[in-house]
Amino acid sequence: MSDTPNETLTGAQITVRLLERQGVRLLTGYPGGAILPIYDALGQSTAIRHVLARHEQGAGFIAQGMARVSGEVAVCMASSGPGATNLLTAIADAKLDSIPLVAITGQVPKAMIGTDAFQEVDTYGLSVPITKHNFLVSSTEELLDVIPRAFAIAASGRPGPVLIDIPKDVQSRAIEVAAWPEPGRRKLPAAADGMALAEAASLIAAAKRPLLYLGGGVIHAGASELALELAEKSTLPTVMTLMALGAMPVDHPLSLGMLGMHGAPYTNLALDECDLLIAVGARFDDRATGKVAAFCPQAKIIHIDIDAAELDKIKTAHVGIVADVGEALSRLLPLVPANPRAEWNARIDALKAEHPQPLPGVHDPRSHFGLIQAVAACLDDDAIVATDVGQHQMWVAQAYPLRRPRQWLTSGGLGTMGFGVPAAIGAALAAPERTVVCFTGDGSILMNIQELVTAAEQRANVKIVLMNNAVLGLVHQQQTLFYGQRLFASEFQAMPDFVAAARALGIAAVDLDQAANPCAALADAFARPGPCLIHAGIDAEQKVYPMVPPGAANRDMIGAQA
Amino acid sequence: MNAVSRNENQALSRAVLEIDVANHPGVMSHVVGLFSRRAYNVEGILCLPVGDGRQSRIWLLVNEDQRLPQMIRQVEKLEDVSAVRRHHADHAVFTDLEAFFQA
């Protein structure tokens, strides 16, 4: 507690002051009756800039974009009832991808809770299973404890979303504040077990065909460089999950890119042959492992994760280490002997040569892969790459040259269509010096298209590349491959004029289909500051290949031939 | 097949969890929610405050299942849970209550 003269402040003023003391300078939300006291206090704050979204789900994903780019806890706000329920999808998404958020919702006054009051919903109950922790604040005094704790919980251990539901009377009541609590900060976890680290080092030293398997935890821990050092020292071929892309540059000689359902053929085949899998900050998600019994069937497993519940959840580890992965890797590094592994890496090179990732049309900017390459050619590694969810997301994951941590923002665990545009806006707000490109589809963009207005209002430097095939691509693909080509509810009968829609919502737009030189039109769009929608028609028959059918072993890929 | 007594049968198929938690209105739903979302039935629940009332102790009677170790780890992760201890099904906390549960 720090010394300040006593002040009489409302719960709303206390909330805003505590956010200021946390260092929050930017937050996003959408006001409504039950959170108006906080908005009134927020309007008086000179330290905090509030970005008005156009839908509470948009606010949730804008906050996610801020958190994913900065690694810091981001804040979003909404009112009670529909405001809160609209936030839930973005909160659930943050839970599955371990993104640190603090969501603050207004609630009806305490005396009215349980009466089915106007815009009353059980926000606390609804958010229990999708938050890391949640609070229903029952007194103004409690705010002084709850708000710093919420930040500490969101940032500590495995990060995640924390919701604070604050009844309106708790916001309005004034109390005397004698002293302010310390801001809530990330608490350091216990150190990794030295014996287990030594055991891991000897397994690595003894392995003939080891693979390093990096997950999103490596990004969250800021441990990408350490992971790269370990890979280089022991010459470990390295696979990444969707969430870990960027941890190692994809064009690094040891990189095998993304594994799993849409991983490259050589990547999944290498996993089949490995005798040791070193999982770091990864959770053996079913999209990564395919049929678990057939995943790395010959391998012993070292599993390092900050969340003890992830060890042995899907695969039993021979050595399990609960720790911050950065701390664990920094202590593992000196224990692991340098090893050139010439034979194993020659085998990997042979797999790469024999079973490459198919990239049809990569030199044609009017094809899906060619468009992704042409966009990448307009940008450097400082750019941030966000996606929505669908075929375009997987194609970008397969083909974009991601080279640094926090360059890549995508909805991994929940796979939420509508993530891309608001997350990209949040990224642009948190990192205004960078260009943000958002790849999206004609299905996904419609799920949060109202946020184009937010982008226009904020002049966010977001370039939205809309890959329009007039179908729900992944649904179309699965119906074609696994449901007897019975296409149902996956082909859009009516298609908006997206270029006109973007302009109507206040942002510039360009149609590559009408451009004589699409590469020049792209370069032109990227050269102009501010938001822009770049529309490109693509072929609806193109599939995301290779594809491991749901429930199949990763070695059984469809469309693996180049 | 040899006959087994009721207690032996319970000891084979059930477990008792003793969970120390912060005492507030939401804690029970946090704990049992982890079970219900996995369609993992909780056979018995007992909860009372301990000490000055800031802490409570929840006793759960659950079926033995290969998922139980993972369930315990998930419960341990909850912010309001300070400790989880696992006992055999013949623990007195539930067997002493049997008189209250005659059909």
- B34 → chain A, closest CA residue: A129
Percent of chain B past pLDDT 90, that is, above it, reads 77
Cα A311 to Cα A130: distance, rounded to the nearest angstrom: 21
Q: Give yes or no for B38 touching A (CB within 8 A).
A: no
Q: What is the nearest CA distance from A136 to chain B, expressed in angstroms?
A: 9
Q: What is the pLDDT of residue B27?
A: 96
Whether complex ipTM tops 0.95? no
Helix (H, G, I), strand (E, B) or coil at A89: helix
A-chain residues near B80 (CB < 8 A): 133
Q: Is the pLDDT of residue B11 over 50?
A: no
Q: Give yes or no for B79 touching A (CB within 8 A).
A: yes
The closest of A196, A190, A212 to A324, measured between CA atoms, is: A190
Q: What is the pLDDT of residue B103?
A: 83
Q: What is the pLDDT of residue B1?
A: 38
Q: How far is CA A504 from CA A443, A467, A536, in A?
A: 19, 19, 18
What is the maximal distance between C-alpha atoms in chain B? 50
Contact A430, A70 (CB under 8 A): yes
Cα B38 to Cα B31: distance, rounded to the nearest angstrom: 12
Contact A440, A466 (CB under 8 A): yes
Contact A248, A227 (CB under 8 A): yes
Q: Which helix (H) or strand (E) holds A206?
A: helix A194-206
Helix (H, G, I), strand (E, B) or coil at B62: strand
Percent of chain B past pLDDT 70, that is, above it, reads 88
Stretch B6-10: mean pLDDT, rounded?
50
Cα A386 to Cα A375: distance, rounded to the nearest angstrom: 13
The closest of A383, A450, A387 to A415, measured between CA atoms, is: A387
A-chain residues near B74 (CB < 8 A): 309
DSSP E strands in chain B: the ranges are: 14-22, 42-50, 55-63, 81-88
Structural domain spans, chain B: 6-102
Q: Give yes or no for B36 touching A (CB within 8 A).
A: no
- B74 → chain A, closest CA residue: A309
Chain A segment 140-199 residues within 8 A of B by beta carbon are 153
Q: What is the nearest CA distance from B4 to chain A, expressed in angstroms?
A: 33
A-chain residues near B69 (CB < 8 A): 312
- C-beta atoms of A309 and B29 within 8 A: no
CA A222 to chain centre: 15
**DSSP secondary structure letters along A484-524:** TT---S-B-SS---HHHHHHHTT-EEEEGGG-SSHHHHHHH
Q: What is the pLDDT of residue A2?
A: 53
Contact A354, A266 (CB under 8 A): yes
> What pLDDT digit, counting tens, does each position of B23-40 carry?
999 999 999 999 999 999
User: Whose structure tokens read 């089915």?
Assistant: A116
- A312 → chain B, closest CA residue: B70
B-chain residues near A134 (CB < 8 A): 26
Q: What is the 3-state secondary structure (H, E, C) of A412-443?
A: CCCCCCCCHHHHHHHHHHHCCCCCEEEEEECC
Cα A388 to Cα A371: distance, rounded to the nearest angstrom: 16
Q: How far is CA A511 from CA A461, A500, A516, B41, in A?
A: 18, 10, 10, 56
The closest of A309, A159, A84, A216 to B34, measured between CA atoms, is: A309
Q: Can you give the pLDDT of all 562 residues of chain A as single tens digits? A: 555 678 999 999 999 999 999 999 999 999 999 999 999 999 999 999 999 999 999 999 999 999 999 999 999 999 999 999 999 999 999 999 999 999 999 999 999 999 999 999 999 999 999 999 999 999 999 999 999 999 999 999 999 999 999 999 999 999 999 999 999 999 999 999 999 999 999 999 999 999 999 999 999 999 999 999 999 999 999 999 999 999 999 999 999 999 999 999 999 999 999 999 999 999 999 999 999 999 999 999 999 999 999 999 999 999 999 999 999 999 999 999 999 999 999 999 999 999 999 999 999 999 999 999 999 999 999 999 999 999 999 999 999 999 999 999 999 999 999 999 999 999 999 999 999 999 999 999 999 999 999 999 999 999 999 999 999 999 999 999 999 999 999 999 999 999 999 999 999 999 999 999 999 999 999 999 999 999 999 999 999 999 999 999 999 999 987 5
Cα A160 to Cα A203: distance, rounded to the nearest angstrom: 32
Q: Give yes or no for A129 touching B (CB within 8 A).
A: yes
Q: Is A16 exposed, middle or buried (0-12, 13-18, 19+ CB in 10 A)?
A: buried
The closest of A421, A413, A457 to A440, measured between CA atoms, is: A421
Cα A192 to Cα A200: distance, rounded to the nearest angstrom: 12
The minimal CB distance from B30 to the residues A128, A136, A312 is found for: A128
Among A303, A313, A314, pick the best mutation site for testing chain B contact (most B Cβ within 10 A).
A313
Q: Give yes or no for A128 touching B (CB within 8 A).
A: yes
Q: Which two tokens stand for residue A358?
A: 């198919």
More confident residue, A352 or B95: A352
Alpha carbons within 13 angstroms on the beta-carbon side of residue B83 total 7
- C-beta atoms of A153 and B79 within 8 A: yes
Q: What is the pLDDT of residue B6?
A: 53
Q: Domain B6-102: give its CATH code.
A: 3.30.70.260
Q: What is the pLDDT of residue A561?
A: 79
* Confidence band, pLDDT 50/70/90 cuts, at residue B2: very low
Contact A75, A102 (CB under 8 A): yes
Q: Give yes or no for A468 touching B (CB within 8 A).
A: no
- C-beta atoms of A309 and B77 within 8 A: yes
